[in-house]
Amino acid sequence: MYIPFNQMPADARVWIYQSSESLSGEMQERLLVSLQNFIESWDSHGRSLKASAQIRHNHFIIIALDERVIPASGCAIDKSVHFLQGLESNTGIKLFDRSLQAFLIDDQVQFVEVKNLKKAVETGQIEADTITFNNLISTAGQLQTEWQVPAAKSWLARYFRKQPQL
């Protein structure tokens, strides 16, 4: 059962899929229709799941599931992953590329290859207060408070620690 995203409770489970390609307004509309259709038929062992989806910053597909109603089984989660893999195949958009870290710089989402993050910090491209996205959060409440965080308060904090002077 599809419900509006803003009606999801804070403890709703979320999954975030990132596209390095900016999704046009037309593409977002197509994706949201596909997501809504999927959610309308999404079930766990034959029982309809209460869920929603949205796209943020033209790059992030977010699916939320109210597990207070019916928890998602492993099979149900697999269905959602297979659905998103199908979206990738049908649209050419990459949603499972984990080699890029997203940042919000001058109100634009920009990406840095994970292998180049240390250098990006050293050169000042990424600063301690540069906003980054924690796509590993697990609840709708965390989406509001822990998804967009300063780089120094994320897993990237190690790159901002001062090295002892010799």
pLDDT of residue 99: 95
Q: Are residues 118 and 83 in the same domain?
A: no
pLDDT of residue 93: 94
Structure tokens that stand for 128 in this block:
């301690």
pLDDT at 150 over 90: yes
**Do residues 137 and 147 touch, judged by C-beta distance below 8 A?**
yes
Q: What is the rounded CA–CA span in Å between residue 54 and residue 4?
A: 9
* Domain assignment of residue 165, yes or no: no
CA distance 39 to 52: 7
Q: Supply the pTM of this predicted model.
A: 0.92
Distant-in-sequence, close-in-space partners of 111: CB < 8 Å, separation ≥ 6: 20, 100, 101, 102, 103
Verify that 81 and 116 share a domain, yes or no: no
The pLDDT of 113-128, averaged and rounded, is 95
* Domain span including residue 110: 100-160
Strand partners for 112: 101
| Per-residue confidence (pLDDT) for residue 165, from 0 to 100 | 52
What pLDDT, on the 0 to 100 scale, is given for residue 164?
54
Domain's final residue, options 64, 91, 118: 91
Report the number of distinct structural domains present in the chain. Answer: 2
Of 34, 42, 33, nearest in space to 13 by CA: 42
Calculate the average pLDDT of the chain: 94
Single out the residue in 69, 91, 113 at which a domain terminates: 91
Give 131-143 pLDDT, tens digit per residue.
999 999 999 999 9
Q: Are 64 and 140 in contact (CB under 8 A)?
A: yes
In a domain, 166, yes or no: no
**pLDDT, tens only, 18-75:** 999 999 999 999 999 999 999 999 988 888 999 999 999 999 999 999 999 888 889 9
| Rounded CA separation 105/101 (Å) | 12
